[in-house]
Amino acid sequence: MAKVKNQKPAESKAAEIILEFIQNNRKKILIGFIGVVVILLGALLTVSIRDNMMESRLVQLDEFERRFMDLLSIDEFNFNEEQAMERMNHVFILLDDLENFQRRSFGFALARANGLSADIYWFMGEWDLAERAWLDSARAARNTYMEPLAIYNAAVAAEQQGNLIGAIAHYQRVLELRDNFPSPARAQFAIGRLEEARQNYDEAMFAYRTLTLTWPNDTQWASLAHSRIIALQNR
């Protein structure tokens, strides 16, 4: 009777092949492993540095906001002309500091810095600069809750300039981002109100009806829109 030869299991053969491969390529494998470790450590270090930079920038922003609030808290009724000029000098210095800060910032910090610049321009009555700064804030805050809020503020600044077409365009952008905006019905009503101001009554009616159909549970704005629809129908 012929003897059956002993055969190694497939797993044993595979292990031998792997061990032989490692033995023949151990230097390359070691170098590759070290490379992976270096990449991972570099990524962790980059994230850590980025987080520390962001934290540092937010601390700086808090200081900028404190400086602005201090300037706002000054009693204007007891101002003389020299004190008023001194305050404006401090405002311009703050704007310069913010501009330098914005050049080396990104993300949330940059969005907040642009928003603070917009607030300062608003305080100065520079509506066009405020609008621009709010739009810069929106770009920096892309895909966050801050983006539609900044665009809404830009719309209000456009209204202050009498630029109703531009304001409507901004409000429409807000509606495109309504999932991140707390009161889309308010932006929709603003479109109707501005179209009405432009005597585009059909567009105004359409905006108001869209509001009542889309946000019927927002009783404040739906009620206002309904009252405007009645007023336009009886015009």
pLDDT at residue 99, as a whole number? 93
pLDDT at residue 45, as a whole number? 40
Helical residues (DSSP H) of 76-180, grouped into ranges: 81-103, 107-124, 127-140, 146-160, 164-176
Q: Is 139 helix (H, G, I), strand (E, B) or coil?
A: helix
Q: Give the rounded percent of residues in the chain with a pLDDT score beyond 70.
A: 74
Cα–Cα distances (Å) from 27 to 16, 23, 91, 203, in that order, read 18, 9, 63, 74
Span 45-96, pLDDT tens digits: 444 445 555 567 788 899 999 999 888 876 665 667 777 788 889 899 999 9
Whether pLDDT at 41 is above 90? no
* Helices 201-214/219-233 angle, 10° precision: 150
Q: Please give the average per-residue pLDDT across 26-39, as a whole number.
A: 56
Q: Please give the average per-residue pLDDT across 33-53, as a whole number.
A: 49
- AA letter at 138: A
The upper half-sphere exposure of residue 75, i.e. CA atoms within 13 Å in the direction of its Cβ, equals 2
More confident residue, 52 or 214: 214
Phi-psi region of 6 (alpha: psi -120 to 50; beta: other; left: phi over 0): beta
Mean pLDDT computed over every residue of the chain: 83
Span 90-142, pLDDT tens digits: 899 999 999 999 998 888 899 999 999 999 999 999 999 999 999 999 999 99
